Amino acid sequence: MIGLGEAGGRYAAALANHGHEVTGVDPADNPTPDGVRRVRSMEEAVADAEFVLVMTGAAASPSIAKATAPYLLPRTCYADFTSSAPAVMEQLARIIEETGASFADVAILGPVTWHGAQTPLMASGSGAKTVNDLMSALGAKVELLDAPAGAAMAHKLLRSIFMKGLASIIWEAVEASRAAGYEQWAREQIASQLAGDGHAVIDRLLSGTKLHAERRSQEMKDTAAYLESMGVTPVMTRATQGSLQQIAATSR
């Protein structure tokens, strides 16, 4: 396990509890999970490993792959769980597969702090099936893609447009409603919109946005001014205004 932080620490502990011999490495001052043998170097960590799981920040992925590749065995499955871009995952696969090892691009589809090692996953690449066998034994639901490395991360990033954008919109809406003294009412409005037939809601939002984009853009401009009057920075509201202006221009 390369990286023993929020995600890596939980997965390392779960694998150790499941009977696996787990070796961990992390230059940061993260605690060593029970049952995990901690070493100082990546070379020592990956030597003779059946699996190498990378759970660091995405920026470190290329350097980790290059540093560990010379020490991988042909039977090793190298799985990158970071949020690296699809093109980076493709690059990592080339680096790893040149050694004879298999590579899996693994997308974590939920908060590991909530679900632990049972957090849903998506995997693609030559090592995806092997990762599925390992992680499903821990109780994780793994969606396998019959596609090369990069596909799982492409799916995750497309999902993030909605998931992270929705979280930011809700944050701003609740913050503004709190400032106005109507937080509970706003929460109930949001909750009611998130319930029910999801596909019907999507269709309604898409058709309504196209039809009323110009009018709604002006409404969001007024909304942004209202938020600013209360001392709330309307980052997402301004972005929505700009998006609606663009949609209106292309829908004429």
DSSP string, 66-115: HHHGGG--TT-EEEE-S---HHHHHHHHHHHHTTT-EEEEEEE-S-HHHH
Average pLDDT of the chain, as a whole number: 95
- Angle between helix 151-180 and 235-251 (nearest 10): 120
Structural domain tally of the chain? 2
Give DSSP secondary structure letters for 138-154.
TT--EEE-SS-TTHHHH
Q: DSSP letters along 57-78, please?
A: -GGGHHHHHHHHGGG--TT-EE
Given a cut of 80, is residue 242 above it in pLDDT?
A: yes
In a domain, 221, yes or no: yes
CB 11 within 8 A of CB 38: no
Q: Which of 149, 173, 193 is the last residue of a domain?
A: 149
* Torsional sign, CA 192, 196, 198, 202: negative
Q: What is the pLDDT of residues 81-127, one digit of tens each?
A: 999 999 999 999 999 999 999 999 999 999 999 999 999 999 999 99
Kindly tell me the number of DSSP H helices and DSSP E strands found in the chain: 10, 7
Confidence (pLDDT) at 19: 97
Is residue 70 in some structural domain?
Answer: yes
Structural domain ending residue among the three candidates 117, 132, 149:
149
Here the CATH number for the domain that contains residue 88 is 3.40.50.720
- Do β-strands 142-144 and 22-24 pair in parallel, antiparallel, or remain unpaired? unpaired
Q: Among 109, 129, 149, which residue terminates a domain?
A: 149
Q: What is the pLDDT of residue 38?
A: 97
Question: What pLDDT does residue 252 have?
Answer: 75
Q: Are residues 162 and 85 in the same domain?
A: no
**Shared domain check, 164 and 134:** no
Query: Which pTM was predicted?
Result: 0.87
pLDDT exceeds 90 at position 251? no
